[in-house]
Each structure stands twice: as structure tokens, then as C-alpha cells.
Amino acid sequence: MRLAILADTHGNLIALEAVLADLRAQAPDLVVNLGDLCTGPFDPAGSAAAQMALGCPTLAGNHERNLVEGDDSSGSVAFARPRLSAAQMGWIASLPKTLRLADGAIFACHGSPAGGDMDYLLDDVAGGRAVLASEAAILPRLAGIGDAKLVLCGHTHMPRVVRLGEVTIVNPGSIGMPAYEDDNPVPHAIETGTPHARYAVATRRADGAWSVDLRAVAYDWEEAARRAEAHGRPQVAHWTRTGRV
């Protein structure tokens, strides 16, 4: 089985189109999308339409929850809501919080299985920067995965592959936003260090183990940054150009 893993497009249609072109060459058996789909100062409606057209298993991230609940505390959510059609909002409202795929062999979430869509499964940001969390910290966050041997998560935008016992955990990184700053759970910065659009391809071998390719795709990030600037978000434009805060 060959699985393409998408996450955190955040409305960046230019980055998404580059990823989808790269993805087609990978010829996956299945594509899964881990949420935070269209909120960002780029092209919310266009990116929503492109992701709906994929027809792939898709779950809701915290930004989809905020869209549905009317929470405009995020500027990206407030920007996106009036630009999304009723049909797009209906699709977003229908998305599940988690997914079980391949007869339970794969568990997909946005944040963590145990902690919900705002939880950081693999990252520790207590020091203000994202570092890999300890095994002791990660293990309880996996509660609820059942017999899954592959766990997929997004939310932190930080590409990682972690092996914990017999479980492989994959965060593919963000398609559309390679850096950001946040105050939750503490003030911290996420930086991938490059502007590339990120996704992952996981392949299940004959022995049941998973091989994972974290892919970094070049695209016209300057044009994407200019769109963020045109929509009054120079900070997001800087993140988009550099992968740094």
C-alpha cells in the first residue's frame, strides 16, 4: 500500500497545485488529508474547491472547527469565512475529527489521538521552539489508536517521522505555511527553515513495516507571499518566503 499524506494547506492554492503535480508522479493508492484546509491569506475558495475535488478521506482540523463554530479569533479564519461558498462550508461541517483507514491499521488525526485538534503529538514547545518530544511524553498522546501501526498527524507544520515501539508516527509538514508563531500552549515559533511545500508518502512493505518519504516541493512561493501581502498579512508573507518567523 502506498499512501500520500497531506496537511495544513491553509488556503495556499499555489503550493497545493505543486504538491498535487508531484503527488501524481508518486502514484499513491490512497490520499488522506489531515485538515486546516483553506484558512490563510491566499485563496480560501480555490483551495477548498481543489481539495474537495480530490474526493479523498479528509478530516477537520482546528481551523475547520473554528470556521463551523464561528470563532474568528484567528485572522486566517476570519479572512476565509466570507470567501467560502455555502457548499464549501457544508463540506467543511461534514468532516470527521479522526479517521481509521485500512481496516484500522492507520489512524489519522489533526493534533493527537488523545488530546484533540490543538494537541502537539510529536513536538515540545516549552522552550519557545519546537523540539522532538520525549517518548514518555508522546506515548500517552497515542491513547485511542487501537491496533493502528501507522499514526498520521498534522497541526504543528513540522515534518517528522517517529518510531515508538511498533507504531510509526508521521507528520507530513504543511503544504502552505512553513512557519508560524502561536501563544498556545505557550508562546513559541515553528520554523522549517525553507519555503517548500511539504507532504509525505508512506509505503507499507511486505513485512508490514512502513517506509516514509518526507517530500519538500519547490513552487512559486514569491507569488504566494505577494498574495498574503496584498491581503494585509506581511508577517505571513515572510513566513511563506523563508520558512522562518
> pTM for the full model?
0.97
CA dist 234 to 120, 200, 225, Å?
26, 28, 8
Domains of the chain: 2-242 (3.60.21.10)
Q: Convert the pLDDT of each residue in 148-204 to its tens digit.
A: 999 999 999 999 999 999 999 999 999 999 999 999 999 999 999 999 999 999 999
Confidence class of residue 1 from pLDDT cuts 50, 70 and 90?
A: very high
DSSP character at residue 115: T
| Mean pLDDT computed over 8-23 | 98
Which of 118, 152, 167 has the alpha carbon at shortest distance from 33?
Answer: 152
Q: Convert the pLDDT of each residue in 46-77 to its tens digit.
A: 999 999 999 999 999 999 999 999 998 889 99
Q: Convert the pLDDT of each residue in 70-109 to its tens digit.
A: 998 889 999 999 999 999 999 999 999 999 999 999 999 9
Is the omega angle on the peptide bond into residue 113 within 30 degrees of 0, that is, cis? no
| C-alpha triplet 47, 217, 85: angle, nearest 5° | 0
